[in-house]
Structure 1
Amino acid sequence: MFRLFFAGKDDPLLVQNGPYGLFTLPHLMVVLLLFATVYLVIRRIIRKAYRARFSWVFRAYVLLVLLEIMRVIWSAYTGQFDVREDLPLQLCGIQMFAIPLALFSRGRIGDYMREFVFAYGTVGFLLALILPIPTLQIYPVFHFRSMQSMLYHAAMGFVALMLPHLNYRPDVRNVRKAYAVLVACALFASVVNILLDSNYLYTSALPIRFDSLRWPLYLPFLFAFALFVGRLPYHAYRFFSGTCPGGTPRRPPGRNRPGGRRFFQKT
């Protein structure tokens, strides 16, 4: 069991027990457990003082980084590490670099990164747990790689969902800032893909086979989808902004604009 938990994708024991798939009972149970855990933790800590809320967010970020380091170590140990696949340059991997800027930068860069983390950290959290492609097509649910991925995205989603409780106010009019960061990341990933023959941010190929739209015809549709889903967290926040997860009135957050209340308020 221990060997199977850390087995590489080519391990005969792992291959023998496959193939694996999405929406199995264990997958749905783990997803519901993680969603419930994130919800209950947020519900519990939003009533705490600002320092405590910020401390919880920072701890979640540290956990996220540790999980990513563990993934790299495991990939190297099993001989699977590939610079064309294992760099943190997918949308959720990039959050590892964006979150510190969102939390600690008080300038324009921080403003842009907060929008990016809120918009795409929330979306990545939901999509990666519900549709963990291709992880659960290669590994069972109770495998290191599967659990690492789901815990990583749960920590990322926790940070994104906590931003409105750290003196940041989501406003769909600011989604253009998240788009700007996304475009910059896509351009950088495209250069990396050309140099390494990789497929970061799926700018070289779709993650699933779809012969009707091949490169580069699918790129406008992928970009339009990314723009569409980036707006959804803002509308969800507006819909639920009257109450906190616990059903109590939300404390007024600070303004995320120059001249307004600073993001780091000592309360």
Structure 2
Amino acid sequence: MGHYFSYGSQPFPFDMFSMSHLVVLLLFLTLLVGLYLGRPRMNQKGKTFIRYTLIVILIGCESSFHLWFILHDQWTVRGNLPLQLCSISIYLCTFMLLTRNHSLSEVTFFFGIGGAIQAMITPELFYGFPHYRFFHFFIAHMAILYACFYMIWYERLHIKFQSVIKAWMTLNVIAVFVFFVNHLTGSNYMFLARKPTNPTIIDWLGPYPWYILSLEVLAFLIFTIVYFIFGKNRLKLKRK
């Protein structure tokens, strides 16, 4: 079974929109519908179980990710700091679920929805089914999305348009910090130094560095679309 956890991806290359990729997307949608339909019958004990299950999955995914690199003697500052948007979202989602803090949830919701959906559809992933990294990648991103929808459907998180501005400005502050980290370490966190290797939506946004400006506009547009879908009721977070 060692090759299922190997560092080289040659035995299991990832093919976008392959059968395994499509099955994962279908599984994600099925579980998401189940999460939504389960709302009316869910008591406090059930909500607590879902919340802490997601916390354990998020922590487990992040811990196993770093452990995998360490065991293969491949962990580096250049590639493994938690500075990709989805890595940041894992930490934010964990704290969001632990605290159910309204201000944190506003930002985390936009980060999670905006980043993880794009990552699920066009993954920057080199390991296909049934490699560990395939399962890790999709389980982690699914947990991010479920955490965000959990806050909307179970914890009554209602977002305002000001939340869009807040999340977008926070993203820019983080991006400035990450830009300098990339410059100092030669890394490519948040793809601010160069485009991803695999085909993604970034390929349509122009050459470097102009695609960064396009990403600014795209991020604001995605956040705004997310708001119009989920921000109809502009109330405060109701804690139960």
1:144 matches 2:143? no
The amino acid across from 1:184 in the alignment is V
**Deviation, structure 1 residue 101:** 4.2
Conserved? CA contact 2:187–2:193, under 8 Å: yes
Distance 2:130 2:49 in 1: 30
Structure with the bigger percentage of helix: 2
1:264 matches 2:216? no
Residue pairs, 1:138-217, within 5 angstroms? 138-164=126-152, 165-208=154-197, 213-217=206-210
1:231 matches 2:224? yes
TM-score (ref. length: structure 2): 0.86
The amino acid across from 1:7 in the alignment is S
Distance 1:175 1:23 in 2: 31
Structure 2: segments with no counterpart, 5+ residues: none
Conserved? CA contact 1:22–1:132, under 8 Å: yes
Distance 2:40 2:81 in 1: 34
Distance 2:172 2:44 in 1: 33
**Among residues 38, 41, 47, which one is paired with 1:44 in the alignment?**
38
Q: Deviation per CA, 1:145-190, whole angstroms, max 9, x where unpaired?
A: 0110100011110000111121311233421111122112112212
Q: Secondary structure at the match of 2:210?
A: coil
Rg comparison, structure with higher value: 1
Q: Deviation per CA, 1:44-76, whole angstroms, max 9, x where unpaired?
A: 255323453244123202211111100111111
Name the count of aligned residue pairs: 235
TM-score (ref. length: structure 1): 0.78
Conserved? CA contact 1:102–1:114, under 8 Å: yes
Distance 2:92 2:205 in 1: 34
**Deviation, structure 1 residue 212:** 8.9
Aligned residues: percent identity? 23
Q: Which position in structure 2 is the counterpart of 1:249? A: none
Conserved? CA contact 2:66–2:80, under 8 Å: yes
Conserved? CA contact 2:12–2:129, under 8 Å: no
Pick closer, same or farther for the CA change 1:3–1:23 going to 2, 3 Å: same
Structure 1: segments with no counterpart, 5+ residues: 242-252, 257-261
Pick closer, same or farther for the CA change 1:28–1:201 going to 2, 3 Å: same
The amino acid across from 1:65 in the alignment is I
Distance 2:45 2:107 in 1: 23
Conserved? CA contact 1:45–1:52, under 8 Å: no
RMSD: 2.6
The amino acid across from 2:235 in the alignment is R
**Deviation, structure 1 residue 42:** 3.7
Q: Which position in structure 2 is the counterpart of 1:247? A: none
Q: Deviation per CA, 1:118-164, whole angstroms, max 9, x where unpaired?
A: 1121233322221112x1xx211211001101000111100001111
The amino acid across from 1:156 in the alignment is I
The amino acid across from 1:126 in the alignment is I
Pick closer, same or farther for the CA change 1:212–1:112 going to 2, 3 Å: closer
1:35 matches 2:23? no
Pick closer, same or farther for the CA change 1:58–1:211 going to 2, 3 Å: closer
Distance 1:235 1:58 in 2: 29
Distance 2:190 2:224 in 1: 19
The amino acid across from 1:153 in the alignment is H
**Among residues 231, 235, 239, which one is paired with 1:255 in the alignment?**
235
**Deviation, structure 1 residue 211:** 11
The amino acid across from 1:148 in the alignment is H
